[in-house]
Chain A
C-alpha cells in the first residue's frame, strides 16, 4: 500500500482514533464486569476501522446515525471519552444527561444522533435527515451505520428504497460482522453478499475490507462525494468481525475457534500499525506513545466519571416535551 498521498498527521489521527476506541471498549468491559458501571454494553472491538474510516470522510457538520453498538461511532465522530463515559455511568454530565445510556449515545452538536437501538430503525430516519439536507440545499450528508442483521428488517427495504427514489444524500454503511446476536448471516440470508442486493433499488453497492481503515476511508470518501454531487444514495458493505459477545457476558461459544483466529490475524489496528511502520510514518516507540496517551486519558476520564454528578429526581420528568 502506498501512503504518500496522505499527510502523516492524518494517518496517525486514524490510528489514534482506532486505539482510543479499542482502549475505551476494553476498559469499560472491565468496569462493567467489576460492577462499577450500570446497565449493559454492546462492544465493537475488532470493528474500529469501519467507524474511523467512514467518519474520516465526513465533515463536522455532516451527521451519522448509529445503533446499540455505537461507542466506536461516537468516538470516531468526535464525541469525547468523558461525555461518553459519563453517559455510561448514568451521570447528569453525560452526552444525553444520563437519560440515554450505552445504547443511545449521541451529540447533535457533533453530528451524531443518539443511537437507535431498534434494529434498522435508523435507516428511514437517516433518509429523512438526508431529505431535510436536500430541501435545505445544505450540502450536508448523513452516514447511516447498521449491521448485517438490519438487512432482514422491513425498515431496511423501506428506507433504502425511499432514499433511492428521491436521490437523497445518504451513505448507507452496513457493518457486516457475520453475526446478528448469536445467529450467523448464512442462516438468515441465502445470498450473503449484501452489497449486491441493493442493485435492486437502482443504486450502487460496494464491498470493502472493513478491517482496513484506508480502504474504508477511500470507499467512504468516494461515496460521500457522490452524495454531495446529488448522485446519492450510496451503499457500502464493510466486511468485518465481531470478536466480542453480542452484549455483556456473552462468551461467543457459537463462533468457531478457526474463524475467530483467522479474524484476529486481520486485526485492523495491528494491520495499520504494520503499514505505518513499513512506510516509516511511525516507529514502535511513536505508536506506543500514542497508546500510552490514550490510556492515560481514558483512566483520568474514568476517575472523573466515578465522581460525576448524578441526575436529580426532578430530572425524571423534564425533557419529555419541548
Chain B
C-alpha cells in the first residue's frame, strides 16, 4: 500500500510520526501553529497544532532568538525542529547556527550533543532578491553541521526522520517550487516532486547521493530544482544519443564522494548544475573534490552551470535568465561531449 504525496505533505507526515514516536520532538517556528493559519509559509505544518498543541511552538518573528532557543532546548535533551519561512532569513540566525549550534560539541570537548533539525525553503520564485536565495553555499563549509537537500517527497519524509533521530545539527534545504502544495499557495512554475510513499516506516540516510538516471557518457550533478531540470535535460540528451547519468547530490555536507566518484570513473565527464551565483558556490566545492579525488579519470575540465554573480532579480525575464534552465544544461553536456 502506498499513497502519492508532495514534499509538503510528506514532511508533515514525517513530523507527525516523529512527534508521536518520541516525546522529545517538537517544532519551533514562525506562523507554524496558528489555528486557521498557514502551517508555516508553505503549509508543511498545516493542522499539526490541532493534533499536538503542546509540541508546536509558534514564535515571534525573531530568527536569531528562535534558533538560540532551539539550540538551548536541544542541548538539554529535547529534539527540536526549527524552521524559517524563507531560507534568506537564516542569515539573521547565523550567529546561533554557526557559533553555537555547530560548535558546542567540539568546543565543549564532546560534552554536548545537539540533536537539532533546521528546515529552510530556498529558490527564486518571483519574489525578488530577499525571498529567493539559495543559501546552501553559506552552510556547507561550517564544521559540525550536516547539510542536505530534498528533491522528492520520498526523500523528504525519510530524510527528515533521519535528521530528527541524528544526534547532530542537520540543515535541510527544500525548494519552493517542489513542495507540490495545492490550493491557494501553489507556486507558478512548480515541478512535480511527488512520490509514492510506503505505508511502512522508512528512513533515508543523510550522507548518500542517489543515482536518479543511469548513463555512460556524462555525469550531471544537481539537487533541488536543478535535479529535476537535469533529468529533463538527460531525456533530451538521450534523443541525441548521449547517455547522461544524473545524480541527486542530496547530501551537500558531507559530500558522498563514493557515489559521485563511481559515476565519474565511468563517464569521465562532469557537469554540475546549481541554482545560485557561481562564485563561492556548492558546485565549486564539488568540482574541487572531483578534481582532487578523481582527477585522473576526467577526460575534460569539469563544467558548471550556475546563476550569474548577481542578486536574484524580480522581472520574470531576468529571473529566468538567472536560474539555470534545461537548454543551458543540455548545451553544457554537449560541450563536454566534444572531448
Q: Which of A98, A127, A319 contacts B72 (CB 8 A)?
A: A127
Size bracket of the B interface:
35 or more
Q: Which residues of A contact B113 (CB under 8 A)?
A: 322
Q: Which residues of A contact B99 (CB under 8 A)?
A: 116, 118, 121
Residue in A closest to B109 when the chains form the complex, CB atoms = A97
* A10 on the B face (CB < 8 A): no
Would you list which residues of chain A between 104 and 150 have a CB under 8 Å from chain B?
104, 106-109, 113-114, 116, 118, 121, 123-133, 135-136, 142
CB pair A125 B109 closer than 8 Å = no
Would you list which residues of chain B between 47 and 78 have a CB under 8 Å from chain A?
54, 57, 59-60, 62, 64-78
Q: Which residues of B contact A58 (CB under 8 A)?
A: none
* B107 on the A face (CB < 8 A): yes
Q: Which residues of B contact A165 (CB under 8 A)?
A: 60
With both chains docked as a complex, state the minimum distance between the C-beta of B94 and any C-beta of chain A, in angstroms.
Answer: 11
* A161 on the B face (CB < 8 A): yes
* A6 on the B face (CB < 8 A): no
CB pair A320 B95 closer than 8 Å = no
Q: Which residues of B contact A118 (CB under 8 A)?
A: 95, 99-100
A134–B208 CA distance with the chains assembled, in angstroms: 37
**Total interface residues on A, using CB and 8 Å?**
46
With both chains docked as a complex, state the minimum distance between the C-beta of A150 and any C-beta of chain B, in angstroms.
Answer: 13
CB pair A131 B73 closer than 8 Å = yes
* A276 on the B face (CB < 8 A): no
* B105 on the A face (CB < 8 A): yes
With both chains docked as a complex, state the minimum distance between the C-beta of B71 and any C-beta of chain A, in angstroms.
Answer: 5
Q: Which residues of B contact A128 (CB under 8 A)?
A: 68-76, 80
CB pair A159 B68 closer than 8 Å = yes
Would you list which residues of chain A between 269 and 301 have a CB under 8 Å from chain B?
none
Residue in A closest to B62 when the chains form the complex, CB atoms = A158
With both chains docked as a complex, state the minimum distance between the C-beta of B180 and any C-beta of chain A, in angstroms.
Answer: 32
**Which of B71, B108, B168 lies at the interface centre, i.e. has the most chain A CB atoms within 10 A of its CB?**
B108
Residue in B closest to A118 when the chains form the complex, CB atoms = B99
A159–B69 CA distance with the chains assembled, in angstroms: 8
With both chains docked as a complex, state the minimum distance between the C-beta of B141 and any C-beta of chain A, in angstroms.
Answer: 13
With both chains docked as a complex, state the minimum distance between the C-beta of B334 and any C-beta of chain A, in angstroms.
Answer: 41
Would you list which residues of chain B between 66 and 106 have a CB under 8 Å from chain A?
66-78, 80, 95-96, 99-100, 104-106
A239–B66 CA distance with the chains assembled, in angstroms: 29
* A94 on the B face (CB < 8 A): yes
Give 13 pairs: A residue, B residue, CB < 8 Å, sorted on A. Answer: A100-B108, A114-B107, A121-B96, A124-B96, A127-B69, A128-B75, A130-B72, A132-B75, A132-B78, A136-B76, A155-B95, A159-B68, A162-B69
Interface residue ranges, B against A (CB under 8 Å)? 26, 54, 57, 59-60, 62, 64-78, 80, 95-96, 99-100, 104-114, 143-144, 146, 167-168
In the A-B complex, the 9 residue pairs with the closest CB atoms: A128-B72, A124-B68, A158-B65, A97-B109, A132-B76, A128-B69, A322-B167, A319-B110, A96-B109
Query: Besides the contacts A94-B109, A162-B59, what 7 more A-B pairs have beta carbons closer than 8 Å?
Result: A124-B67, A128-B73, A130-B72, A131-B57, A319-B109, A320-B143, A322-B168
Interface residue ranges, A against B (CB under 8 Å)? 63, 94-100, 104, 106-109, 113-114, 116, 118, 121, 123-133, 135-136, 142, 154-155, 157-159, 161-162, 165-166, 318-322
